[in-house]
């Protein structure tokens, strides 16, 4: 097969076009223009980004004011989870709601933050919080138990208001 | 006759910044000239199609997000349209408008990444940052609406997750106002830059006939001069209500179907998308967004092929249902996968350095190629 290069070089550029200086100046003028524009970025670890109420961050369980969990361990969240990240074990209790989760674990390595658990929950007991920078140093640490998942209800009020308004 | 040298095999990737993900290219070269290219794919394979068979229909939506992760909204849109056609669901007007606005904003965001990274691939780094700045504004709009910035899970079967944020319309109008001058700036900086034109014009020419034979779709096909867009030629949702043009490659700076043309199509398409968004936010009716969401998604036994125009081309879903809550089979016709096929043809006879320019102009997403 005869080798051929498809590329054709333009030979009819004018002198100004050939030295490319006008093009470089055009590019640089934009650079200088942007120096005086307002900054678009934020300096993340020092300056934190605060998401709106719509934000779907780490899923958390609601802890009532008396320290009990609102969850009744029906297991719907665990069944609807597309990533199979939630494990619930129910137990009986003397309280009014009769059942509570003895064990509630979310594997944060599996969680895809889709929000189906929050959507399906009949008790509004699991909601998406605003936490977004989750870090772990090993796989065991990434399995969040009830100790990490329970968050007092007053810290999640704006998300609950948002859900009531838009769902 | 050039000097004959011995053939050599050069591996490019999988860890290469210009292969746009984990793609390995096996280049057979003779000196600088490329004789043959074999793409090796599959490094990102996640068994999407097989995995769908054990999931319910709504559970698949977050997974469709993860195929073409730069155009998640459009992927969801395509899947949801397919399931709705299978089930015969009519969605409310407002939902249709919201979906179109989201899909078109997503198209702009996706094209911004495409042209930004294309510039960065061939040595122009500034436009990359500018493109990402503008994309960030779109992602902010998505975030206040559905709570996520990349993988939305927003468009559901029969509706959308929840209604628009009260500020959404105002912020979108502001974005359009800010974005138009930025697009012009981008044109000045990159599109009509002589250095960029010299680098990309007449490189990787894809004639219309070859494009059709290989089944190329999307901006790559239109750059070759073929007027084909599913939004016009096979309208889905409410695209027939909007007034917009389909940009077609004319070869302003070289030959029809070269890299520059493929790049320029995306700029023109962004302008058209802006027009659609503008018309849609002015016409959007009030109403409910979740009334048509079925309690249980259980399509009747049957099969359907439904296609939509993704930023990268025709995205088709073939769904076979046996009447249960899980699909029997889902096949995805991914535009990036089909567009990648022609890559070897385009590279033949070019220099090694042009491989990067050609690959960038095809605009592939490996998440979609491998699924």
Query: Which pLDDT tens digit goes with each residue over B262-311?
Result: 899 899 999 999 999 999 988 888 888 888 888 888 888 889 999 898 89
- Percentage with pLDDT > 90 across chain A: 0
Residues A74, A154 within the same domain: yes
Question: Range of A141's domain?
Answer: 59-165
- CATH number, residue B347: 1.10.645.10
Q: What is the pLDDT of residue B318?
A: 92
Residue B62 within a domain? yes
Residue A67 within a domain? yes
Residue pair A78/A111 in contact by the 8 Å Cβ criterion: no
Cα–Cα nearest to A113, from A135, A83, A157: A83
Q: Chain A residue with minimal CA distance to B62?
A: A114
Residue B24 within a domain? no
What is the DSSP code string of B9-58? EEEE-SEEGGGTEE-EEEEEEETTEEEEEEEE--TT---HHHHHTTS-HH
Tally of domains in chain B: 1
Q: What is the pLDDT of residue A2?
A: 42
**pLDDT reading at A51 higher than 60:** yes
Cα–Cα nearest to B70, from B359, B369, B300: B369
Burial of B263 by CB count in 10 Å (0-12 exposed, 13-18 middle, 19+ buried)?
A: buried
Q: Chain A residue with minimal CA distance to B159?
A: A167
Q: Do A82 and B126 touch (CB under 8 A)?
A: no
Q: How far is CA B189 from CA B91, B118, B247, in A?
A: 43, 13, 21
Give the confidence band of A10 by pLDDT, cuts at 50, 70, 90: low
Question: Range of B203's domain?
Answer: 44-370
Q: What is the pLDDT of residue A167?
A: 64
**pLDDT reading at A61 higher than 60:** yes
Q: What is the pLDDT of residue B109?
A: 92
Residue that wins the pLDDT comparison between A11 and B43:
B43
Mean pLDDT of chain B: 87
Q: Can you state the angle between helices B72-87 and B57-65, rounded to 10 degrees?
A: 160
User: What would the mean pLDDT of B197-226 be, rounded to a whole number?
Assistant: 88
B368's enclosing H/E stretch is helix B366-370
Sheet of strand B302-310, all strands in order from the earlier edge strand to the far edge: B302-310, B313-321, B327-333
Facing residue for A5 by CB, picked from B33, B60, B144:
B33
Residues A157, A108 within the same domain: yes
Residue with tokens 């999407």: B48
Cα–Cα nearest to B226, from B237, B236, B215: B215
User: What would the mean pLDDT of B351-368 be, rounded to a whole number?
Assistant: 87
3-state class of B288 per DSSP? coil
List chain A residues with CB under 8 Å of B30. Answer: 3
Q: Do A7 and B143 touch (CB under 8 A)?
A: no
Q: What is the pLDDT of residue B188?
A: 79
Residues A71, A143 within the same domain: yes
Residue A53 within a domain? no
Q: What is the pLDDT of residue A135?
A: 87
Q: Could you tell me how many residues make up chain A?
A: 167
Residue pair B318/B49 in contact by the 8 Å Cβ criterion: no
**In chain B, what is the greatest distance between 2 CA atoms, to the nearest angstrom?**
71
**pLDDT reading at A127 higher than 80:** yes
Give the confidence band of A3 by pLDDT, cuts at 50, 70, 90: very low
The dihedral sign for the CA sequence B60, B52, B307, B20? positive
Beta-carbon contacts of B166 under 8 Å, excluding residues fewer than 6 positions away, are none
Residue B14 within a domain? no
For residue range B6-55, what is the model confidence (pLDDT) as tens digits?
888 888 878 887 777 788 888 898 888 888 898 888 888 888 889 889 88
Residues A31, A67 within the same domain: no
Q: Do A54 and B146 touch (CB under 8 A)?
A: yes
Q: What is the pLDDT of residue A1?
A: 39
Residue A158 within a domain? yes
pTM of the model: 0.86
Q: Do A10 and B198 touch (CB under 8 A)?
A: yes
For residue range B249-258, what is the model confidence (pLDDT) as tens digits?
887 887 888 8
Residue B9 within a domain? no
Q: Can you state the angle between helices B126-146 and B168-186, rounded to 10 degrees?
A: 170
**pLDDT reading at A4 higher than 50:** no
- CATH number, residue A131: 3.30.70.3270
Residue A45 within a domain? no
Tally of domains in chain A: 2
Give the confidence band of A11 by pLDDT, cuts at 50, 70, 90: low
Residues A104, A22 within the same domain: no
For an interface test with B, give the residue of A2, A5, A6, A162 to mutate (most B CBs within 10 A): A6
Residue pair B281/B100 in contact by the 8 Å Cβ criterion: no
**pLDDT reading at A13 higher than 80:** no
Q: Chain B residue with minimal CA distance to A115?
A: B153
Facing residue for A20 by CB, picked from B1, B195, B205:
B195
3-state class of A99 per DSSP? strand
Residue B25 within a domain? no
Distance from CA of B41 to the nearest CA of A (A): 25
Residue B8 within a domain? no
Residue B154 within a domain? yes
């Amino acid at each position: 097969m005869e080798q051929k290069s498809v590329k054709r070089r333009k030979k009819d550029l004018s002198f100004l076009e050939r030295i490319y200086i006008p093009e470089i100046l055009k590019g640089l003028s934009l650079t200088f223009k942007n120096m005086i524009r307002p900054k678009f970025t934020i300096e993340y670890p020092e300056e934190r980004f605060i998401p709106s109420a719509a934000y779907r961050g780490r899923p958390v369980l609601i802890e009532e004011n008396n320290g009990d969990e609102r969850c009744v361990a029906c297991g719907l969240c665990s069944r609807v989870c597309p990533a199979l990240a939630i494990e619930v074990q129910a137990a009986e209790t003397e309280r009014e709601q009769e059942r509570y989760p003895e064990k509630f674990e979310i594997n944060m390595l599996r969680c895809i933050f889709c929000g189906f658990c929050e959507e399906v929950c009949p008790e509004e007991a699991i909601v998406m919080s605003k936490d977004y920078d989750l870090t772990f140093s090993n796989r065991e640490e990434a399995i969040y138990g009830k100790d990490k998942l329970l968050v007092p209800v007053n810290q999640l009020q704006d998300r609950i208001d948002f859900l009531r308004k838009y769902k | 006759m050039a000097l004959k040298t011995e053939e050599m095999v050069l591996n490019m990737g999988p860890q290469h910044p210009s292969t746009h993900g984990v793609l390995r290219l096996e280049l057979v070269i003779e000196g600088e000239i490329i004789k043959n290219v074999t793409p090796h794919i599959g490094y990102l394979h996640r068994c999407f199609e097989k995995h769908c068979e054990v999931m319910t229909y709504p559970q698949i939506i977050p997974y469709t997000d993860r195929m073409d992760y730069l155009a998640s909204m459009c992927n969801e849109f395509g899947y949801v349209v397919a399931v709705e056609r299978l089930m015969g669901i009519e969605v409310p007007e407002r939902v249709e408008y919201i979906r179109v606005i989201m899909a078109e904003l997503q198209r702009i965001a996706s094209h911004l990444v495409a042209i930004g990274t294309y510039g960065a691939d061939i040595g122009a780094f500034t436009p990359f940052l500018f493109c990402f700045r503008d994309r960030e504004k779109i992602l902010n709009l998505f975030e206040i609406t559905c709570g996520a910035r990349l993988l939305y899970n927003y468009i559901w079967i029969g509706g959308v997750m929840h209604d628009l944020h009260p500020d959404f319309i105002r912020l979108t109008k502001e974005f359009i106002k800010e974005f138009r001058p930025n697009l012009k700036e981008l044109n000045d900086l990159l599109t009509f830059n002589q250095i960029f034109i010299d680098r990309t014009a007449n490189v990787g020419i894809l004639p219309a006939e070859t494009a059709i034979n290989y089944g190329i779709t999307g901006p790559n096909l239109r750059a070759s001069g073929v007027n084909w867009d599913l939004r016009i030629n096979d309208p889905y949702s409410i695209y027939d209500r909007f007034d917009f043009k389909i940009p077609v490659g004319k070869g302003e700076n070289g030959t029809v179907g070269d890299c520059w043309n493929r790049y320029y199509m995306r700029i023109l398409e962004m302008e058209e998308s802006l027009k659609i968004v503008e018309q849609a936010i002015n016409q959007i009716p009030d109403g409910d967004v979740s009334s048509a969401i079925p309690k249980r998604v259980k399509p009747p036994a049957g099969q359907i092929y439904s296609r939509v125009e993704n930023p990268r081309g025709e995205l088709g879903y073939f769904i076979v249902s046996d009447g249960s809550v899980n699909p029997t089979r889902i096949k995805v016709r991914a535009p990036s996968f089909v567009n990648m096929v022609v890559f070897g043809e385009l590279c033949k006879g070019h220099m090694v350095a042009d491989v990067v320019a050609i690959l960038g102009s095809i605009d592939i997403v490996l998440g979609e190629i491998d699924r």
